[in-house]
Chain A
Amino acid sequence: MRPASEAELVEVVRGAQGPLRIVGGGSRGIGQVLADEALETGGLAGIRLYEPGALTLVAGAGTALAEVEAVLAAEGQRLAFEVPDLRGLLGRGGISTLGGVVAANASGPRRVQAGACRDSLIGVRFVDGAGNLIKSGGRVMKNVTGLDLVKLLAGSQGTLGVISEVAFKLRPMPEAAATLVLEGLDDAAAVALMARALGSPYEVSGAAHWPGQGTFLRLEGFAGSVAYRAGRLREMLGGAIEDGAARWPGIRDVAPFHARTGAVWRLSVRPSQAPGIVARAGAEAALYDWGGGLVWLLLAEGVDLRARIGAMAGHATLVRASAETRARIATFQPEPPALAALAAGLRARFDPRGILNPGLMA
């Protein structure tokens, strides 16, 4: 099913006889959905409003991310949160859509400076599991009117509603970028160094560590400012300054794991604890982003990483896995009972029939 308007989407959901698998462009969905019937959002496409002077964009959920990025680039603007392209990692084709980006709260290296997708998202329209068309937020940058369902829908993986339209605040595209490269650091030293960089006034917009390859700090802005800040950081930390930011799409998209087999995990942790967690994980490979706050791990299929790590402040998501691994290990980290009860209560209200991506999150 592929509704071409919000009105049609409402009819489709109201008339659904069974569970639905919500599909944007099919480029980044993870986990198992217990539904045969696909509901595609690609027909809900198109940029509805773009005001460069107000730094705001409103578009249908099925709009291709690439189309939006091109339109914004023509005005020297962009989505600040640097959407990862996971097709290489997941072995997918497909075209990333805005709705899928929001449903996954997909955020790249710039998350440490500019926030996540949910921080740029200022409005959302969606159809809940009962077929009600609901809006929250709007097209203005500041809005505290009523409960913030915008945040709730971001990262809800299509389980609370089918997103039909999204609104973002935007950021200017920087005039220049530079990357400070440091070599030879072990994981603990790299995370400590990234903490010093992120704790400096030099506005680091990316801090990543690829064991064996180097530790990378990105600076963006007006050319003179980038040169000044890169110089100050090098005085403070050493290393070599590289022009541009050519390395960052690879870090964003977890390129080091693309050609390798095995299960891929994504950990959101307290940065200073990341090296210890990685040591306990016994992974085949690791990639640190967000100054250590985000860790990508490559492990053999079938390993329950959560059991191996034990208690930690944070959580682990099984991003890529074989069907056998998925059958045994939950995609998302199980939550403590009180939180799980609240989440279950929200699902029961927003999707009383349990038809939206059932089995994916709970």
Chain B
Amino acid sequence: MQMPTPNPVILARKAQIVARLRGVLPRDAVVDDPAETRAYECDALSAYHCPPLCAVLPRSTAEVAAVLRLCHEMGVPVVPRGAGTSLSGGALPTADCVLLGVARLNAVLEIDLADRVIRVQAGRTNLSVTGAIEADGFFYAPDPSSQLACAIAGNIAMNSGGAHCLKYGVTTNNLLGVTLVLMDGTVVEIGGAHLDAPGLDLLGLICGSEGQLGVVTEASLRILPKPEGARPVLIGFDASAVAGACVADIIKAGILPVAIEFMDRPCIRATEAFAHAGYPDCEALLIVEVEGSPAEIDDQLARIAAIARRHHPVELRESRSAAESARIWLGRKAAFGAMGQINDYICLDGVIPVSGLADVLGRIGVMAAAAGLEVANVFHAGDGNLHPLILYDANQPGDLARAEALGAAILTLCVEVGGCLTGEHGVGVEKRDLMAVQFDAADLAAQMAVKDVFDPAWLLNPAKVFPLALSAGRRAA
């Protein structure tokens, strides 16, 4: 993967840039020792790394604004960073950038249960947002699997989803307002505790903009009352096509599960060896979770079981207790760790129409075999968001490149069948150069025009989202 050549003028001015940043920030908020800046050299896409020129760790919106104003004036690129859990390289620094970490902005500013809104500083972790309100019976719905570590700022940047978004939507459906600092240091308030925009929906534009338009320092989030309870059912099938048909029938029957998760045989075998969840050794496994009172859950699970039986499952296990629920979820939650035990892997994030599930899984299998690589599938079946895991050996020269080529081919296939490159991980650097597969020149020009408005000098999070060749002229300007 190619990154632009660092600007030698900026590299040469490091001491001056650091000194000016120290002029507007407390001493401990500027990190320039190369031993320390290495802590920020990558995010969760760790195949790529590059220490920033320096890092800043502001504690307030005013400090963020001061940093951006200064960097704007000096023409220095800025890479915003939440908790550094991006799977697409969204927080990957460049050697000539100031890395702006928002982790110290982690306070809860306001909780209003009557208006069902919480306002937090954007560096606060996803799970600790729910932590602040769960004693009152509320929760924050988007639940990316990194929720223990990931920051709301990054969730907003990537429009993060999670296992339960089939029912509750993704970040953009649960975000009510932000405080946004533009690259020139202007602070704008968008939205608040009310539900819709007075003019153009700028909030919808900011969410998922991958740090291209501004830095979010505070967010108002919609909170929801916790359901009375939730329980899953585990269903095993001897063919992916049958599992896919079962998913469609559940949806057509008017049932709205909170989650429908899918695992294929390679994934089931790996997680069984690792977590011993007692999964059947079958071709495809579904975990379907529903919510409500005990009676409502029983009713929905009975409807799902009746539908599943029409498809002759090899296993059907309804949870009757919290312990059984935990056991059903155990393997799914351990899936990524289990795969990591046996190999290095690339986690893809393509989305396909759910009607194409069996066909696409079959074609992925053929492509993997042709590439001599193994692919395991674990994903959110209700919304067609695939997570093929391509296994490779990082110590084997050329293996990563082969795995990346297979990944690109799989994502291209997702687009061909009517889907998209990324459902919840974002484009980042990883899928930047595949954007032309999904969008034509006019589509990309329109998106880049939006960036022109918010960040005319293209200093924010450079060399991400848009194909490098397309953004080159603007970044140089």
Contact = CB atoms under 8 A, between A and B. Distances in A.
Interface of A: 51-56, 75-76, 105, 107, 111-112, 115-116, 118-119, 128, 132-136, 138-152, 154-156, 160, 171-175, 192, 195, 198-201, 222, 224-225, 228, 268-272, 290, 293-294, 313-315, 317, 332-333, 335-336, 338-340, 342-343, 345-346, 349-350, 361-362
Interface stretch (B44-52, B91-99, B190-198, B323-331): B190-198
A84 to B, nearest CB: 13
Contacts of B446: 128, 132, 134, 136, 149, 350
A199 B113 contact: yes
A346 B453 contact: yes
22 contacts: A51-B354, A53-B247, A55-B251, A107-B196, A135-B439, A136-B446, A139-B353, A143-B422, A144-B426, A146-B444, A148-B159, A151-B204, A151-B207, A152-B205, A199-B225, A201-B228, A270-B115, A313-B193, A335-B199, A339-B190, A342-B454, A345-B454
Contacts, number: 262
B452 A154 contact: no
Interface residues of B, number: 97
B225 A152 contact: no
Contacts of B188: 336, 338-339, 342
Nearest to B166: A141
Q: Which of B159, B196, B200, B446 has the most CB of A within 10 A?
A: B200
A174 B424 contact: no
A141 B383 CA distance: 6
A268 B199 CA distance: 12
B249 A268 contact: no
B10 to A, nearest CB: 27
Contacts of B197: 105, 155
Interface in B10-55: none
Given A142-B423, A147-B205, A151-B172, A53 B383 contact: no
A231 to B, nearest CB: 11
Nearest to A221: B296
Given A115-B173, A172-B256, A268 B198 contact: yes
Nearest to B450: A147
B199 A361 contact: yes
B425 interface: yes
Contact of A269 (B194, B352, B384): B194
A142 B385 contact: yes
Contacts of B193: 270, 313
Contacts of B228: 201
A222 B138 CA distance: 24
Contact of B254 (A134, A172, A332, A350): A172
Interface of B: 112-117, 137-138, 158-159, 161, 165-166, 169-170, 172-173, 182, 186-190, 192-205, 207-209, 212, 225-228, 247-249, 251-256, 292-293, 295-296, 299-300, 351-355, 380, 382-385, 418-427, 431, 435, 438-439, 442-447, 449-454, 465
Contact of B195 (A53, A116, A136): A116
Contacts of B165: 142
Contacts of A335: 198-199
B443 A141 contact: no
Nearest to A225: B296
Contacts of A192: 114
Contacts of B383: 140-142
A166 to B, nearest CB: 15
Contacts of A51: 353-355
B296 A228 contact: yes
Given A53-B248, A138-B420, A144-B423, A201 B201 contact: no
A133 B446 CA distance: 10
A138 B194 contact: no
Ranked 4 nearest A-B pairs via Cβ: A151-B204, A53-B248, A172-B254, A315-B198
Contacts of A270: 115, 117, 192-194
Contact of A199 (B138, B166, B170, B254): B138
A268 B196 contact: yes
B31 to A, nearest CB: 30
Contact of B256 (A148, A171, A199, A271): A171
